Amino acid sequence: MINEIKPSTKAADYSGKRFAIVVSTYNEMVTGKLLEGAVETLQNHQIADERIDVLWVPGAWELALGAKQAVNSGRYAGLVCLGAVIRGETTHDQHINRFVSMALGEMSLESGLPIAFGLLTCNSFEQAHARAGGKVGNKGHEATMAMLEMLHLSEQLNHM
């Protein structure tokens, strides 16, 4: 018989665990909504407010360093990184997006911690708003769910 292990949060126990949300102040009209979705998701999983740390960084570029400092602290079971990069007239957005996505991915693999990628990479403010609680949903919620599911998967594997 094949043993399937699917990520889930239904039977997970997150009591006693601490989580960090690293969020950019740049485009705060958007990132604030992403943060609301992330916090609400953690609270809906019975994670107490005192176990949630919100770490503000100046912009999307700094998400990587903020996350690295959180990982190095050894305090957190998982991280959610939230930001919004809106395309402008130059390719500046592409450089930021590539760096942050690569840095967070490598950091997660190296540390073994689930680090969720909640960086919106949009062509317009309208697209960003649609993904921050608008008609496309809240990517802060989605990123937080992914982090919790990966944490639970890791715990399942460690107890086999």
Write out the catalytic residue numbers. 92
Closest CA to 144 of 71, 67, 35: 35
Which segments within 32-97 are labelled E, that is strand?
A: 52-57, 78-86
Q: Give the phi and the psi of residue 65 in degrees, each rounded to 5.
A: -70, -40
Q: Residue written as tokens 């949903």?
A: 137
- 143: tokens are 């990123």
Residue 16 Cα distances to 19, 75, 83, 115, 158, angstroms: 10, 11, 27, 18, 17
Q: Strand locations in 9-147, DSSP E?
A: 19-24, 52-57, 78-86, 115-122, 132-134, 137-138
d(CA 94, CA 141): 24
